[in-house]
Amino acid sequence: MNTVDARPCRTVAVALTGASGMPYGLRLVETLLAGGCRVWLLYSQVAQIVARQEMDLALPGRPAEVEALLGGRFGAAPGQLRVFGREEWFAPPASGSNPPDAMVVCPCTMGSLASIAAGLAGNLIERAADVAIKEGRKLILVPRETPFSVLHLENMLRLARMGVVILPANPGFYHRPQSVEQLVDFVVARILDQLGVAHTLMPRWGEDEV
């Protein structure tokens, strides 16, 4: 596989919301940790339901327990993965004085997308996204919805004009995937490319697999 030249890994906030597509978000966390990045994980209550429905994964309600569960599952180094609660207002991503270098909401519900577009901050996910926008940090939203309504599209356009990356969870098929995991990796690879994080998830277009 080919490796992407990239800037050194840094701190990335990953938010899991209640849209379908939890395998994308957790695979992203796994690959970021494997790449040496520090990950700040945020998750909604509905994300816990979706994780159980789609992956038979019981995400605990206590952030410290999620940190231990996923840190062990993905082989995180001590301190590499930090998990914050929905109303943990003293968490680093809640303030522009200590924002992550980038933030990804994956999967992203239309409700979360609308709240971010409107500048709302009713929970830590929305506040962290608001901070990312105001501080000029890269913000990537990975919506998983179909079809999109006019309202959804208008909210996406509004965010795109602010510099937010709208990266729908739309896997391609030109690499001839043989498994669901390869479809997931297609989308995760596109996210990692946007973050400038090196990966070997799939061959590049026009280059032979090695």
Identify the pLDDT of residue 204. Answer: 82
Binding-site residue set? 18-20, 44, 109-112, 144, 174, 190
Identify the pLDDT of residue 209. Answer: 57
Binding-site residue set for FMN? 18-20, 44, 109-112, 144
Asked if residue 203 is part of any domain, the answer here is: no
Which domain CATH number covers 22? 3.40.50.1950
Q: 9: pLDDT confidence band, cut at 50, 70 and 90?
A: low
Asked if residue 70 is part of any domain, the answer here is: yes
* Domain extent for 139: 11-195
When the pLDDT of each residue in the chain is averaged and rounded to a whole number, the result is 93
Identify the pLDDT of residue 1. Answer: 33
Asked if residue 1 is part of any domain, the answer here is: no
Question: Which of these, 186, 168, 189, 208, lies nearest to 4 by C-alpha position?
Answer: 189
Identify the pLDDT of residue 203. Answer: 84
Binding-site residue set for dimethylallyl phosphate? 174, 190
> In a 10 Å sphere around its CB, with 0-12 CB exposed, 13-18 middle and 19+ buried, how is residue 126 labelled?
buried
Structural domains in the chain (count): 1
Asked if residue 189 is part of any domain, the answer here is: yes
Q: Where are the alpha helices (DSSP H) in the chain?
A: 22-34, 45-55, 63-74, 110-117, 124-134, 150-161, 180-195
Asked if residue 16 is part of any domain, the answer here is: yes
Asked if residue 205 is part of any domain, the answer here is: no
What is the C-alpha to C-alpha distance for residues 180 and 198, in angstroms, rounded to an integer?
Answer: 22
Asked if residue 206 is part of any domain, the answer here is: no
Asked if residue 58 is part of any domain, the answer here is: yes
| 113-127 tens-digit pLDDT | 999 999 999 999 999
Residue 2 has pLDDT above 50, yes or no: no
DSSP for 98-155, written as a single string = S--SEEEEEEE-HHHHHHHHTT--SSHHHHHHHHHHHTT-EEEEEE--SSPPHHHHHH
Q: 18: pLDDT confidence band, cut at 50, 70 and 90?
A: very high
| Average confidence (pLDDT) over 11-21 | 97
Q: 8: pLDDT confidence band, cut at 50, 70 and 90?
A: low
Identify the pLDDT of residue 6. Answer: 43
196: Cα separation from own chain's centroid: 14
| 49-108 tens-digit pLDDT | 999 999 999 999 999 999 999 999 999 999 999 999 999 999 999 999 999 999 999 999
